[in-house]
Amino acid sequence: MTLSRPVIVAGDWKMNTTPADAGRLATDIAAATEVAGVTRIVCPPYVALPAVRDALAATSVAVGAQNLHGEPAGAYTGEVSGQMLVGLATWCIVGHSERRRDQAESDELIGRKLLRCAENGLRPILCVGEQLAEREAGLAEETVRGQLERSIGELRRLGAGLPADLVVAYEPVWAIGTGRTAWGSDAAAMAALIRLVLAESAGVPEDGAGVPVLYGGSVTSASIAEFLAEPEIDGALVGGASLKVDEMAGIVARAGMTAAARASAA
């Protein structure tokens, strides 16, 4: 089943770029990352979504949003609903570690956001991961398991299941912008746990073997090879490096090697 999973590289631009420059950056990244077998996604800020969508219309690069609200509509000033994203994006990041930290997003809220993605045809990239204190206390797996189980529980409470096209990104929060480095083996072990929990808690078939799991811990062109060498890892959610054309080119080139190896082994 490993060989049938897609290889995915998603760039999270966070709160960077403006509508004036986002389209050009997206165009340059698309041109520099034309590699067979790799699903490429660019996730700009909300205000740049139209410019990026238009810039990428003639390419195979998909557009993703960085977030969406947990309700379909309502009195939520400054928020963006899933239905507002229809026609602007086809992917959406859910539960990013920065939103968990800065907006105190709960796992239950993230579960509702997954439902909103499913309702609006947005393919979700669900982010999970532990803080440094949790890893040092030996609670990394317990933390990630709890995040998944609580979000799944909220979906179940609402009478829904996990989106069938779910992608999960493992973010070791302690390795993001801190200078600390996670190992490929750490990420692979967590990917295996993620699939197990999805199978146990949500009934995902074949022990979750068909669910793509990405690595998202300060990914660069220099570090990506170690993670893509692990069969359990199917790509990357790239942060700061996704704003640099050369970095994205290097990351996608390495992802293309993984895609080619899987295709030849199929």
pLDDT of residue 178: 76
> Would you state the structure tokens that stand for residue 94, as one six-digit string?
């859910």
Question: Domain-by-domain residue ranges, the chain?
Answer: 2-265
Q: Where are the alpha helices (DSSP H) in the chain?
A: 19-32, 49-55, 82-85, 97-102, 107-119, 132-136, 140-157, 184-202, 224-228, 245-265
12 near 43, Cβ under 8 Å? yes
**Which CATH superfamily does the domain covering 2-265 fall into?**
Aldolase class I (3.20.20.70)
- The amino acid present at 48, given as its one-letter code, is A
Cα gap 132→33, rounded to integer Å = 33
Identify whether the C-beta of residue 238 lies closer than 8 Å to the C-beta of residue 41.
no
pLDDT tens digit string along 217-265?
889 999 999 999 999 999 999 999 999 999 999 999 999 999 999 999 8
Helix (H, G, I), strand (E, B) or coil at 202: helix
pLDDT above 80: residue 2: no
> What is the rounded radius of gyration, in angstroms, for the C-alpha atoms of the chain?
17
Q: Is residue 88 within 8 Å of 53, Cβ to Cβ?
A: yes
Whether residue 168 contacts residue 213, with contact meaning beta carbons closer than 8 Å, is answered with yes
Catalytic residue positions? 96, 171
C-alpha–C-alpha distance, residues 95 and 18, integer Å: 23
Q: What is the mean pLDDT of the chain?
A: 96
| Burial class of residue 72 in the structure, from the number of CB atoms within 10 Å of its CB (0-12 exposed, 13-18 middle, 19+ buried) | middle
The average pLDDT across 158-166 equals 97
Report which DSSP code applies to 239.
S
Across residues 149-162, what is the average pLDDT? 98
- In this prediction the pTM is 0.97
- How many Cβ atoms sit within 10 Å of the Cβ of residue 263? 12
End-to-end CA distance of the chain: 10
Nearest to 190 by CA among 135, 144, 125: 144
| Mean pLDDT of the region 121-145 | 96
Residue-wise pLDDT for 55-110, tens only, equals: 999 999 999 999 999 999 999 999 999 999 999 999 999 999 999 999 999 999 99
